[in-house]
Structures are given as structure tokens and as C-alpha cells.
Amino acid sequence: MVSNDQGVGVAAAASAEQLKPFNATVSLTRLHTWFGLTAGWLLFVIFFTGSLTVFAAEITLWMQPEVSVPSHSELGATPRTLQTAEAFWADKGQSDARAMVRFPDTRNPDLRISFGGRGDIKTYAMDPLTGVQFEPRDTMGAQFFRALHYRLNIDRRSNEIGFWIVGLATAMMLAVLISGVIIHKRIFRELFVFRPRSAYPRAWLDGHTALGVFALPFLFVIGFTGLAYFYFLYMPAGVSALFDGDQAAFRQSMSQSAQGGGKREGGAMLPLSTFVEKAEAAMPRSEMASIRITPSKGGASVVEVRGSRDVGIVRDAGRVAFDGASGDIVQPLAAPLPAERLQSFVVGLHLAWFGGYAMHWLYFVLGLVGAGTMATGLVMFTVKRSARIDRASRADRLWWLAVGRINVAVIAGLALASISYLWANRVLAVGLEERAMFEIRIFFVVWVAALLHAYLRGAAMAWREQLGLAALMACSLPVLNWMTMRQWAGTYAADGDWQRFSVELVVVAMGVGAAAAAIKLGNISAAAESTFQRRNVEALT
């Protein structure tokens, strides 16, 4: 029986709880925790694959070992390269098909000529001087990581759901970053505070905070520019107003492909060198990167010469279009509008098309730091909750166990699937039909298997086994490369093939890091999971 005094006391306590002032820090901490958890798994995938995409050209080159890197440095539209392209064009040229000539550069040392349109393109790779053709194996290369990075490898022609999921996760990340800055008021002091020997929750919080603060400007910039990159998708009102909802017309306008105006007489196409010389005069500050040839009904083809994109943070490559028969300019070089320059600035900032290799390495490292920020936050979620397991309900304990296993599948599983993708590139038969798709299927099969393995083995053992296997496969990749192709980092260094050399060196270094993480995370998860299971035996049976 409750006395009147006790009843009054309970009512007063309840009233005081209701009148408690709003605590912004507590609310933002909850937002930071739950937005960080729900978006963190996807953000880790986005940042990890985005980091790999920084060196997409180098990874793709490694995955096509048949492409030889010439010992000479014949880059751009040099006279000898043009001579090789014209000789091939005379032999294989198709006047009724679209074509493109891509000149060699520092990251793509071969000359490539393509025929056909979307979905039906035949590409020839060759030495820019000798014209010797390479026959590279069928692979998506690092373009697969790029597709996974910004649209989750969902076919954009079927639907745009991949873009929307990535966009939502990015918007949530910006909210998490802002809330994190407010929560950690002494943010600059915390940059220099790291206590690895402290109790696990404190050590992981220090590591998570230090990584986040170190990469904070990069995380804000890369998140905002990633959203602004696809402004037409996330804010479609302007496109709908200007193009009456006609997405095809908008895409045609965005592609800026030259069609040429006025009536043009037919005739044989002039040599490619003629168009390059005229384009160099029109764009003296740009290196010529490619030539696009568009057939025209009843007239000569339109030849469009494009400059290099690596010309600064503003992606103003420049392009000039000519009549293929007369050489007259049909679409002169136009000065970009301020809005176009702003959008080019945003895209160039996101894709690091400036600063050369130094900036690429900086983006790569900061991208991995961003992935590390997501990973430490996800692990910290389970580590912190293991300390208050006594106060948790059975449903909460089951949820925390599930989160621990999903963490393993997302973090360690993605690493294991990625190195399996590289292994598949060397193990699968070169002549296998739909070979590129088999590489991708192996990636996803391994990733799904990692999730099942984590649920069957538990987080502690799964961390050790998955990261340990990933470390073993990464460190032995040069051995596999030697056994299958008679190539490895040593032969690359001897041949001056520093792109492929760097790929193998970084993979081995990441394998060493995975081995260290396997030991550390395995020990932490063993302590946390034993606590969960000890308090939750009846829930698991």
C-alpha cells in the first residue's frame, strides 16, 4: 500500500522529469550514434571503394597484364602516335560507326581505339609506337569498385535506386559529422589525445575521435561534393523546368557531343593529325587527350578533339569540333558559363583531377582514414554496450550480438571480397565467356559467405579468420601473380612499370595491416562477446 506522501513524491519526480530542460548534447549524441550505425555500414563500403577508385587506372592496368607498358615515354598526341593511329584507322576504320581514339598518358600508357556505341563497343589496345596490338583479358577492373562506390553496382539503366541510397547515406554522414563536432567541444585538443592502453571503450573512442578530427575537412568536402556531383538527380526541379521533364534531352545536353550545324558535303575524312594541329592552335594550354568521331547522315563525319582533364581543379578540358571532310570548325571552343565552372570545380574537387600523383595519394590515405573512422565507430558501438550488459534486455543483447557480426561482414568481409576479386582476375581462364561478370560474382559470393561465416562462428573468431585470410591472400598476391603470369613487383620494378609495382606494394601493405587488425579486433570482440553470451545464454538457446 502506497502512502499519500509516497504518492506525492512519485508524482513530483515524474513532474520534474517532464520539466527537465532540453539537453542538446544528449539528443545530438543519440543522433550521432544511431545515424552513425545505420549509415556507417554503407559509408564504410563507400569510403573503402572510393579510396581504391582514386587509383582506378593503375588497378585496371594491373588486372590487364597483357597490356605492356612501353619503355619509352610517348605520351599524348605525338606525331608518331598519330601515325600509328592513322595506320590502324586505314586498316580497321568504319565510316558508319562512332569511334574514339584515346591517346596514352602517364596513367594509361597504351593507345586505344574504339568503334561502336553504347552496349556494342569494340576496343583495340596497342603500343603507341609500334602498333602491336594487345589482347587484354575481359575484366571490369577498378571500374567495378567505382560502380560500387557511387551506385552500389546497381545498373543505372534499369533504375536509380543505387544513387538514392548512396545519397541518403551521404546526407546522414554530414549530419553525423556536424553532431560529432558539437558533441566533442574540445575537438582540437582531442586530436592529440590517444590512449591505446586505456580500457577498451576509452581507447576506441580516442581512436575514433582522432581519426575523425584528422580527416574532418576532407570528410565534409568529399561528402558535400559527392552530393553536388549528382545535383540533377537529387534536385531535379531545374532539369524538369528547362527540359520539360525530358531526361533524354537533358543527358544529350550534358554529354556536349558535337553534332555540327548547317549543311556539310560528304567526302573522305582528313588525316587525324590535321584535326589535332588545329585543336592545339585553338587550345594551346591543353594536352590533346582524345578524338571522337560521329558519323553524319548525308555528310562528312564530325570530328571532336578533346583536351586533357588533368588541367587543374576546374575540369575545363576544352573541346573543338570539325567537319571531317573540310576541316572547318563546326563547333568552336566556347567559354564555360560561371555555373558550369562552379559545377566543374565541385566535380574536380571530388575526383581529384588536379595535383597529380601527390594529390591522388593524399585522397587515397584520407579516404582510408575516413573508412577507419566509420569502422572504429561501428566497433565502438558493441564495445561500449558490453560494459552495460547487466542493464540490457534480452532483445537488446540479441541486437548487439547481431551488430557485432554485421560489423565483421561489412569490414572484414569487404576486405576479403576485394582481395578475392584480384585473385579471381588471375585464376579464372582468360578465354572464359562472360569472364568479367564471373569476377564480380566471385566478389559478391565471398562477401555473402563472410556474413554467413560471421553468424556461424561468432564475431571474435570471424574477425581473426576473415582478416587473417584476407591478410594471407594479400601478402601472397605477388606469388600468385608470378605463378600465373610470371610477373610480380620485382619484374615491374625492373621494367620501370611503377603503376603495377605500386598496386602490389600497397596490397601487401594492406595485408600486413589486416593481420594486425585481426589480432586486435579478435581480442576485443572475444571479451565483448563472451560478456554478451554469458548474460544471454537463455536467449541464444
Q: Are residues 319 and 392 in the same domain?
A: no
Which of the two residues, 11 and 339, has the higher pLDDT score? Answer: 339
Q: Are residues 396 and 283 in the same domain?
A: no
Containing 484, the helix (H) or strand (E) segment is: helix 477-485
63 alpha-carbon distance from chain centroid: 17
pLDDT computed for residue 414 by the predictor: 98
Determine phi and psi for 414, rounding to 5 degrees: -65, -40
| pLDDT for 355 beyond 80 | yes
Q: Are residues 407 and 532 in the same domain?
A: yes
All three cell numbers of 541:
538457446
β strands within 308-403, DSSP E? 319-323, 329-331
355 occurs within a structural domain: no
Distance CA 64, CA 33 (A): 43
Q: For 328-338, what is each residue's pLDDT tens digit? A: 888 776 677 78
What Å distances lie between residue 273 and 130, 164, 328, 522, CA to CA? 17, 44, 14, 61
Q: For 15-59, what is each residue's pLDDT tens digit? A: 554 555 667 778 888 999 999 999 999 999 999 999 999 999 999
Domain boundary among 291, 325, 359: 325
Q: Which residue is associated with the grid cell 546497381?
A: 154
Band (pLDDT 50/70/90 cuts) for residue 10 is very low
pLDDT computed for residue 145 by the predictor: 98
Q: Say what the alpha-carbon torsion angle 496, 497, 498, 502 is, to the nearest 10 degrees.
A: -140
Residue 131: domain span? 68-136+265-325
| pLDDT for 213 beyond 90 | no
Q: Are residues 271 and 124 in the same domain?
A: yes
Domain boundary among 280, 296, 325: 325
Burial of 526 (0-12, 13-18, 19+ CB in 10 A): middle
179 occurs within a structural domain: no
472 occurs within a structural domain: yes
Per the prediction, the chain carries an average pLDDT of: 85
User: Could you give the number of structural domains in the chain?
Assistant: 2
332 Cβ neighbours under 8 A, 6+ residues apart: 282, 320
Band (pLDDT 50/70/90 cuts) for residue 151 is very high
3-state secondary structure (DSSP) of residue 291: strand
129 occurs within a structural domain: yes
| pLDDT for 142 beyond 70 | yes
351 occurs within a structural domain: no
537 occurs within a structural domain: yes
Report the first-to-last Cα separation within the chain, whole angstroms. 39
pTM of the predicted protein model: 0.89
